Amino acid sequence: MALFVFRNAHPGAILVLHDQPNTLPATIELLRRAVPALRQCGYRFVSLEPGGQNPAAAKSWPA
């Protein structure tokens, strides 16, 4: 799953994960590894506003 996340990360990407009881430990471990690694690559994580106005992950680009 981590490889899928990294291969599909791009500016404006939205990462959707489900926390079902049988997958919760794997989801938590994925987030523990993926979030710091993606931040190190310049991505940031934001909350989605109702209606999807803001991207969940966006690359920081120099002006």
Assess if residue 1 is contained within a domain.
Answer: no
Assess if residue 37 is contained within a domain.
Answer: yes
Assess if residue 41 is contained within a domain.
Answer: yes
- Amino acid sitting at position 16: V
3-state per-residue secondary structure call for the chain: CHHHHHHCCCCCCCCCCCCCCCCHHHHHHHHHHHHHHHHHCCEEECCCCCCCCCCCEEECCCC
Give the pLDDT confidence score for residue 55 in this predicted structure: 53
Total domain count, the chain: 1
> Each residue of 1-33: pLDDT tens digit?
788 888 889 988 888 887 788 988 998 999 999
Q: What is the pTM of this model?
A: 0.64
Assess if residue 9 is contained within a domain.
Answer: no
Q: Domain range spanning residue 44?
A: 14-59
> Each residue of 36-61: pLDDT tens digit?
999 999 999 887 776 555 554 455 55
Assess if residue 28 is contained within a domain.
Answer: yes
